[in-house]
């Protein structure tokens, strides 16, 4: 098995990524195992931050690296909170305060359309000129009152109209099948497989 360092310390994400990479002969190892320090994310686009994280993890370990970046983009807010999704309401980071700020920002707004976005980047080495990229978008609408107690982040306010359920009301398997992260990961895995990486 070829080792790949994963530029994330979220246990749920790591499990999801490891499960998809394993059949490709890739052994996903969290960057925490190698003492990789946190990477700055100074950019205004998901893709730039994601490439920075993958390069950083590869540079610190000498291994190929996979990074992900994701967030919520709301149409009526010109794509906000976007790359600032985790820290929309400032520090300390809080889902409750982020959700409150989102609902307030959309008060009286008729256009409730939003999507979660995720990008995943794989680099073979830090200065890889051809990073492999997978993307996913999960479309929904922002509602005013929370529903459900699963998921995390903005999920209780993110209604998926086809299912009449919020992200927090869907079971884990359904969410993984539909979500921006699942889509991005499958697209990236397909590219890794096609190139025989």
Q: Does 70 bind ligand IMP (CB under 6 A)?
A: yes
Task: Using CB under 6 A, pick the residue from 30, 64, 71, 136 that binds ligand IMP.
Answer: 71
DSSP 6: E
Active-site residues, by number, are 69
Do the Cβ atoms of 126 and 59 come closer than 8 Å? yes
163 binds ligand IMP (CB under 6 A): no
Residue with token string 């000498």: 62
User: CA-to-CA distance for 159 and 195, rounded, in angstroms?
Assistant: 37
Whether the CB-CB separation of 167 and 180 falls below 8 Å is answered with: no
Site for ligand IMP in 76-105 (CB under 6 A): 85-86
Alpha-carbon distance of 113 to 116, in angstroms, equals 11
* Strand 132-142 to 113-123 pairing: antiparallel
CA nearest to 187, candidates 114, 101, 117, 140: 117
As measured in angstroms, the least distance from the Cβ of 168 to ligand IMP is: 8
User: Tokens representing 71?
Assistant: 């967030």
Q: Which two tokens stand for residue 89?
A: 């309401």
Taking CB under 6 A as the criterion, which residues in 120-159 touch ligand IMP?
151-155
Give strand pairing partners of 159: 141, 166
- According to the binding rule CB under 6 A, does residue 116 interact with ligand IMP? yes
Nearer to ligand IMP, 122 or 154 (CB): 154
In the complex, minimum distance from the CB of residue 72 to ligand IMP, in angstroms, rounded to a whole number: 5
**In the complex, minimum distance from the CB of residue 25 to ligand IMP, in angstroms, rounded to a whole number:** 26
Instruction: Write down the least CB distance from residue 37 to ligand IMP, Å.
Output: 17
Task: Tell me the window of 23-31, 64-72, 122-130, 182-190 that interacts with ligand IMP (CB under 6 A).
Answer: 64-72
Report if residue 31 touches ligand IMP, rule: CB under 6 A: no
Binding-site size, ligand IMP (CB under 6 A): 14
Pair of tokens at residue 183: 């889509």
Binding site for ligand IMP (CB under 6 A): 69-72, 85-86, 116, 151-155, 167, 179
């Amino acid at each position: 098995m070829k080792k790949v360092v994963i530029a994330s310390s979220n246990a749920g994400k790591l499990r999801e990524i490891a499960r998809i990479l394993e059949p490709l002969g890739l052994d996903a190892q969290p960057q925490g195992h190698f003492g990789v320090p946190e990477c700055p994310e100074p950019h205004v686009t998901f893709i730039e931050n994601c490439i920075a994280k993958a390069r950083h993890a590869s540079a610190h370990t000498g291994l190929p690296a996979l990074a992900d970046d994701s967030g919520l983009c709301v149409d009526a807010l010109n794509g906000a909170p976007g790359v600032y999704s985790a820290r929309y309401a400032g520090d300390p980071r809080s889902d409750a305060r982020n959700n409150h700020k989102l609902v307030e920002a959309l008060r009286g707004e008729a256009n409730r359309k939003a999507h979660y976005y995720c990008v995943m980047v794989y680099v073979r080495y830090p200065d890889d000129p051809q990073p492999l990229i997978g993307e996913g978008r999960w479309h929904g609408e922002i509602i005013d009152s929370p529903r459900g107690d699963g998921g995390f982040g903005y999920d209780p306010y993110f209604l998926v109209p086809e299912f009449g359920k919020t992200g927090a009301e869907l079971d884990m398997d359904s969410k993984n099948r539909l979500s921006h992260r699942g889509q991005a990961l499958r697209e990236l895995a397909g590219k890794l497989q096609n190139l025989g990486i």
